[in-house]
Structure 1
């Protein structure tokens, strides 16, 4: 069922897909002249045979039809190959993830930076690519050897041997398995470093390059985004690149607790104790849980805002269903009274008269958001500006692409 869903999404977006490994054909935007390793990574990324049982690929939760997020917007978090199992987080976009630096602690700022996943538990893109295959609520393979065996039996196994050498998929020893599994992840990471995931074709890119003009509302929205006295969004989502000639990525790769409430619509709370021992009392500690450092509890990686208008739902648990809802929350979180019902959701942010308590009370950022002085017009303008960050404004990039 998961495969049919992915296939349908590809077809809706005008991208036919083969049924052998789920690889889109013709290629996605940015896929001209991919390296042999990236082409192998493409095969792996779309192969629905690499789950247990077969039916789920990387593209199931990172679908190109939805800017490489989950195209099923009916649930706040993604389901696994077993349709009864759901993760506890909203699938972030895989686009531009290749630009995140390896996870590190910045002694100057006192902040953790970079890495992959919303909690930084994978330092690099290749390390991230290993995790979903073995996650019991995602692709559910029992071990790395099972994944290696499936790739060895795939119709693109010869392609793997061409890239990494004959015998690259051996699994006769534990060392062989580890190396082959690392190469599978390496090929996927190479694909994610390609222009398929890093297009820089939004209206904002063309505006910076002098090839597009903003509307009056978009100009106002950009001012709201950048001004410290207004939205001050650029403090964590820089709209100007520090490197001349390079496009901005709209994230500083830091971690923050913006005070998001628990999501009553999350099906993760109802999973059996084998998958969620805490049940309805589960609290996602984010970076703090990953590091086992309570001082970092509740902090999640600041996402890129590129393609934000087409990647709902928003925040780590998919609490916000609309972009307008997120902006409204940023502006009014600390100015509205607390809801007495902790399970109120963002069904209509404009009508929301109160906000539930944060999932994690510690470390909530009160300095940069929560009581922004934004008018209704400011919010409308800001949302209009955020819509200029969607790729595909024109067919080709306004500058030569440089791999991260």
Structure 2
């Protein structure tokens, strides 16, 4: 880990605690209508670190507001990319995605006309939304029981922790006074303090009868739906970027930004996937499909170094350095999962080969949001790129510049390493765009106009 890892973790945890305190203050002094209740509840849930196995990691640990609700630890963005879980020695295999505008994703479906999967949440689309009719809500249900994230061994453990929370009454107001009328076993505290995964012989180690399990499942759904309600609120998805002001006639692009937008929509073909809206559409800058861009392997990704068994007997990555992320294809091949985030439609299983190594097209909104100009963010599922300049240069020159080995002196400038996976590489919208350095810079300037919180003289105060 980076030398300042512990210090940066402590800083982020302190920031999260401060946001949580302000949310409590808001709840205490505000008369909330139904919408206000569920959004405030969702915010409290996102910033509550007690909902992890060791009570040290909130959902927001990997998704803080001042980075566009994605990774807030600069040293990790520059190195390991993925973030540690409640068990601090365990890491995920991908860069944290942004929460912002994620709640607008449609339920995952197959568009036969275009021959593509559309919707869902996560890089691999596995939060399909088929059960709750909200991919965003189903996304929220994955980290609590993921061994490399919040690490609870049973979804009922989260409900047990909620029953002890200081905002329990608000939860009951939103989802019913009987939400926690559950007979908890005597060993529930011990079980819920034991990191996942649960033993294979006992996949639901909080032993509840059928009616109590059903009530716990409903509360777990309520947890997820409240988070989704918060994430679609103006606090997280506000549509207040300079781009939005320009579209409503309250601001103007600079000449360079205007050129970048013209290129974005034209020569650079960016909006073929990062759609800026059409009739009746919000300009979300994604089409919710998936693609393999041919991004090089990132040798710093922590998952490559987790081939062994940890002190708790868990082996995150049996393939070690041979690991190749299967993307959407891996999700489509998964027919069973304790988290419920397996392929819900058997007719999609034959599509696995077609979607191997593809990853969901992210929104470009807030792609440059950062706490300070020099703060380093990471881009793509494996965090290979460290700046928008690198991303645009790759789109422009991937198929033009020679192939080189990682850490070559010209890497990212005059040559590119081979793709992490050469299967299903997108050859249509990128690779040889013929952009000049000035045109690349103009596109970067336009992308920066997608950062929310823009103020004009009339809005500043």
Q: TM-score, normalised by structure 2?
A: 0.78
Task: Please name the residue that 2:96 is paired with.
Answer: 91
2:355 matches 1:296? yes
CA distance in 1, matches of 2:154, 2:456: 41
Task: Please name the residue that 2:416 is paired with.
Answer: 355
**Please, which of 135, 144, 147 is the counterpart of residue 146 of structure 2?**
135
The number of residue pairs the alignment matches comes to 380
Deviation at 1:101, TM superposition (A): 0.2
Gaps of 5+ in 1: 399-404
CA distance in 2, matches of 1:318, 1:68: 15
2:181 matches 1:170? yes
CA distance in 1, matches of 2:117, 2:68: 26
Equivalences for 1:319-334 in 2 at 5 Å? Answer: 319-334=384-399
**Please, which of 393, 400, 403 is the counterpart of residue 454 of structure 2?**
393
**Please, which of 299, 303, 308 is the counterpart of residue 268 of structure 1?**
303
Task: Please name the residue that 1:306 is paired with.
Answer: 365
CA distance in 1, matches of 2:362, 2:269: 16
Deviation at 1:186, TM superposition (A): 1.6
CA distance in 1, matches of 2:162, 2:378: 33
2:285 matches 1:250? yes
Deviation at 1:394, TM superposition (A): 2.5
Deviation at 1:126, TM superposition (A): 1.4
CA distance in 2, matches of 1:26, 1:180: 23
> Does the CA-based 8 Å contact 1:338-1:355 persist in structure 2?
yes
**Please, which of 264, 271, 279 is the counterpart of residue 320 of structure 2?**
279
> Does the CA-based 8 Å contact 2:23-2:40 persist in structure 1?
no
**Please, which of 194, 199, 203 is the counterpart of residue 238 of structure 2?**
199
* 1:26 to 1:38, Cα distance in 2 relative to 1, 3 A: closer
> Does the CA-based 8 Å contact 1:262-1:319 persist in structure 2?
yes
Supply the RMSD in Å over aligned alpha carbons: 2.4
Higher gyration radius (CA): 2
**Please, which of 254, 257, 262 is the counterpart of residue 215 of structure 1?**
254
Deviation at 1:82, TM superposition (A): 2.1
Deviation at 1:189, TM superposition (A): 1.4
2:109 matches 1:104? yes
2:270 matches 1:233? yes
Secondary structure of the structure 1 residue equivalent to 2:74: coil
> Does the CA-based 8 Å contact 1:170-1:180 persist in structure 2?
no
CA distance in 2, matches of 1:219, 1:26: 40
> Does the CA-based 8 Å contact 2:20-2:44 persist in structure 1?
no
Q: TM-score, normalised by structure 1?
A: 0.88
> Does the CA-based 8 Å contact 1:201-1:396 persist in structure 2?
no
Deviation at 1:169, TM superposition (A): 2.1
CA distance in 1, matches of 2:409, 2:24: 35
Deviation at 1:74, TM superposition (A): 1.8
> Does the CA-based 8 Å contact 2:9-2:73 persist in structure 1?
no
Deviation at 1:382, TM superposition (A): 0.6
* 1:164 to 1:121, Cα distance in 2 relative to 1, 3 A: same
Task: Please name the residue that 1:6 is paired with.
Answer: 12
